[in-house]
Structure 1
Amino acid sequence: MKVKIGEITKIKTGKLDANASSEDGEYPFFTCSREPLKISTYSYDCECVLVAGNGDLNVKYYNGKFDAYQRTYIIEDDSSGKLYMPYLYYFMEGYVERLREQAIGGVIKYIKLGNLTDAVIELPEIEKQKDIVEILEKAKELLNSRKNQIDMLDGLIKARFVEMFGDPRINPFGYDTEEIGKTCKVITGNTPSRKVSEYYGDYMEWIKTDNIVSGVLNPTKAAECLSESGAEEGRIVDENAILMACIAGSIASIGRVCVTDRRVAFNQQINAIVPEQYNTLFLYTLLQISKDYLVEDINMALKGILSKSKLEEKVFIVPSMELQDQFAEFIEQVDKSKVAVQKALNETQTLFDSLMQEYFG
């Protein structure tokens, strides 16, 4: 049978600001970030599905003590034994794309309670729900194994960077340093007027922050494109530029980077960095390693933004181009291995997606 989520659950939101976390906290603190932070106290002790209500919409399952950001929805069972919560988690994993389509707002999109309560779920017998979850768990385990391989290769790149250049913040080898605004061209994206429908079509991809995926070198394919006239109104970069998320729903999402492998347009939540005194692959890694430095002055309580001017003021090491090129050659070699692993990951993802489609439509 099909039922609305609101008929079989009770839903509330967290109460805390995003900056309430504590690095040495004992409990998870769920915000709109994909990865939970830590906190020293807890307000909730339950089995639940958590849905990020704004920014980087995502879904999590948790059972235990935790606390939550005020824009995070906490969904608990209220079905008198008819609902298996991990089953709801997997349903919401697939449904999150629908939530992204329903999100409203300006710079930072958000969903309303009704977007969750009105969602319709197929609810088979509880044992059937458990069987479905068992199958999906096995597929997810294989998927995570592939992702771990990718992470290990990324770790190899970062280890090689530190071996060659040291900690860039400490600069133990005494390399020259310079503000990034003097070594690169920084461009903030924009949104051509939505009032002019002719600006949107299929001429050029329009990249958003969800196309910038941590650990993935190039931007994923954009869901929306601009027309030729829209591209004239937009901000565009060629291949070998770096795109950085500068506005997001959580501090963890700000500073994500990718390298363009094609000519694209991009929205105002992204700063593009066009290197002039850097090898692009070297700078891409340098920015990844310097994530904490990039976001250290951002106050999420005051609408967290890494502005163009603030980014341009950030000071980074500038090793010789010869050393940068050597490091880039290493990245290219590792990336060949990543391509093979990524192929296997994509195949596993396709399997997982087909199962999700079969069970949840």
Structure 2
Amino acid sequence: MSATFVKLGSVAEFINGVAFKPEDWGDSGTKIIRIQNLTDSTKPFNRTNRTVSDKYHVRPHDLLVSWSATLGVFEWFGPDEALLNQHIFRVLPDENKVEKRYLRYALEGALLDMQRHLHGATMQHVNRGEFLNTKLFLPSLPDQERIADILDRAEALRAKRRAALSQLDELVQSIFIDMFGDPLKNPKEWQQVQLGDLIFSASDGPHVSPPYTEAGIPFLSTRHVRAGEIIWEDLKFISQEDAEIQWKKCKPERGDILYTKGGTTGLAATVQTDQPFAIWVHVSLLKPDPQKVDSIWLESMLNNEFCYRQSQVLTHGIANRDLGLTRMVKIKMFLPPISLQKDFALRVVALQKLKTQHEASLTELDELFASLQYRAFRGEL
């Protein structure tokens, strides 16, 4: 078969899942694969005893495409069969036409180009008809295998770099435990304190959203704060005038700590920039007392499981989750000598420099992979 462009729907069958209802769920039965189970391995599965057609049974190594809310291509690695929920396609390749690994990379590339296929404001999803009509470059099966091998090798390099970054993140907490002990047991019998004992203040951003501008002062929300890291991507901006108003109440400065208090709560990140920015109400600003506590040490303490669990207990609400300022300051922790805290902070800074180097390398590998993928599915590889 010579190389040609074909419609995606002509080389595989795309089976949409079942619209299971809450009354179908139970504590026993077969697992139901929802999008959250594909994107987060820690999420629990719903189960059901409902009988459904065999085509909705997902077998190990089946390809799955989530096409609503979160777009992605996945391979089911569960040891057992499971059932397919709605908003997910089970992909059955025609093995006489397309090699499965090649198809997976093709699907990933297609989804990257899916912005023009997105429909819906609050629940964005791919239009099935448009998606299945997406053009796919289809060379011979031996060429597909060759291309998949090249992309596999490139992806393996990216995976190794991502694993190294993950290990660096874990190493911070390992060093913390090694130097200070488990906060739950406090084996070194450090002084017991509360968060409020170590900070000058805990405040939050405006409770009314200011008007946004195309440029200006970055305005950060909960999604910009991860454990140990501030994300400077997908930013919104406010005017200098509005920022000045916000800063009268709450002005972030180098050495402060951002601590999420709305929605996703209990994540801490130290401000390590002099760039001016403002924060939304769901992010709190902690002003550590440098005579008592090092900011980087306090960040790690707050992100430790011991403090994180307390933050979740102190978070109220279901639909609108909130870790109130007067509650967060009651989070308990131990307090080692400031000299030991600073020693720990120096080690973290060294790891952060190494992490920056790995991130730069991963960016280069991502660019290489994207280039290979682009060329592969245009017949240039």
TM over 0.5, shorter chain: yes
SS at match of 2:137: coil
**Partner Cα distance (1:143, 1:91) in 2:** 16
Q: Name which of 264, 267, 271 aligns with 2:284.
A: 271
In the other structure, the counterpart of 1:308 is 324
Give the Cα separation in 2 of the matches to 1:48 and 1:230.
49
Q: Distance in 1 between matches of 2:339 and 2:162?
A: 32
Q: 1:87 & 1:321 partners in 2: Cα distance? A: 51
**Could you list the runs of 5+ residues in structure 2 that have no partner in the other structure?**
49-56
Kept in 1, the 8 Å contact 2:259–2:283? The answer is yes
Larger Rg: 2
- What is the CA–CA distance in structure 1 between the aligned matches of 2:266 and 2:73, rounded to whole Å? 22
Distance across 2 between alignment mates of 1:212 and 1:41: 30
Distance verdict in 2 for CA 1:80–1:246, change over 3 Å:
farther
- Give yes or no for contact 1:255–1:295 (8 Å, CA) kept in 2: yes
* Counterpart contact for 1:30–1:36, Cα < 8 Å: no
> C-alpha distance in 1, partners of 2:35/2:358?
30
How far apart, in 1, do the equivalents of 2:171 and 2:185 lie? 21
Q: Tell me, in whole angstroms, the C-alpha distance in 1 between the residues paired with 2:148 and 2:207.
A: 40
Q: Which amino acid aligns with 1:260?
A: V
| Residue 94 (structure 1) aligned with residue 109 (structure 2) | no
For 2:91, the equivalent position in structure 1 comes to 77
Please give the alpha-carbon distance, in whole angstroms, between the structure 2 residues aligned to 1:319 and 1:68. Answer: 51
Q: Name which of 268, 272, 284 aligns with 1:261.
A: 272
Is the CA contact (8 Å cut-off) linking 1:247 and 1:304 kept in structure 2? Answer: yes
Deviation sequence 1:299-326 (CA, Å, 0-9, x none): 9993372423443332222223222112
Q: Is the 8 Å Cα contact of residues 258 and 271 (structure 2) preserved in structure 1?
A: yes
- Is 1:242 the counterpart of 2:242? The answer is no
| Closer/same/farther in 2, CA of residues 200 and 334 from structure 1, 3 Å limit | same
**1:114 positional shift:** 4.9
For 1:109-135, what per-residue CA distance to the aligned partner results, in whole angstroms no more than 9, with x for missing partners? Answer: xx2445676557432227476655443
- Give, in angstroms, the shift of residue 68 of structure 1: 8.8
Matched letter for residue 351 of structure 2: V
CA RMSD of aligned residues (A): 4.5
Partner of 1:108: none
User: Which residue number corresponds to residue 188 of structure 1?
Assistant: 204
Shift in CA distance, 344/176, structure 1 to aligned 2, threshold 3 Å: same
| Contact residue 316 and residue 322 of structure 2 kept, 8 A | no
Mapped pair 1:10 → 2:15 = yes
- In the alignment, which residue of structure 2 is the partner of 1:354? 371
- Taking the aligned partners of 1:231 and 1:302, their CA distance within structure 2 comes to 31
Structure 2 distance, partners of 1:66, 1:300, is 37
Assess if the C-alpha contact under 8 Å between 2:119 and 2:126 holds in 1. Answer: no
1:224 match? 236
| Structure 1 residues 116 and 254: CA distance shift in structure 2, 3 A | farther
| Number of residue pairs aligned between Structure 1 and Structure 2 | 340
Query: What is the aligned partner in structure 2 of residue 36 from structure 1?
Result: 41
Of 258, 282, 286, the match for 2:297: 282
Structure 2 SS opposite 1:186: strand
Q: 2:360 aligns with which of 343, 350, 357?
A: 343
Q: What is the identity, as a one-letter code, of the residue corresponding to 1:313? A: K
C-alpha contact (below 8 Å) 1:51/1:73 kept by paired residues: yes
- Give 2:53's aligned residue: none
Supply the distance in 1 between the matched residues of 2:64 and 2:161 (Cα, whole angstroms): 25
Change (3 A) 1:21 1:331: farther
Of 213, 218, 227, which residue of structure 2 is paired with 1:205? Answer: 218
Residue by residue over 1:66-121, the C-alpha shift from the partner in whole angstroms, topping out at 9 and shown as x without a partner, is 76998x8322227766775523552366358x49x97745xxxxx24456765574
Q: Which residue of 2 aligns with 1:140?
A: 155
Q: Quick one: structure 1 residues 40 and 10, their matched pair in 2 at CA, closer, same or farther if it must change by over 3 Å?
A: closer
Change (3 A) 1:207 1:122: farther
Contact 1:295–1:306 (CA<8 Å) still a contact in 2? no
Report the identity percentage. 16
> Relative to 1, partners in 2 of residues 1:69 and 1:233: Cα closer, same or farther, differing over 3 Å?
farther
CA gap of 1:288–1:26, structure 2 versus 1, over 3 A, is farther
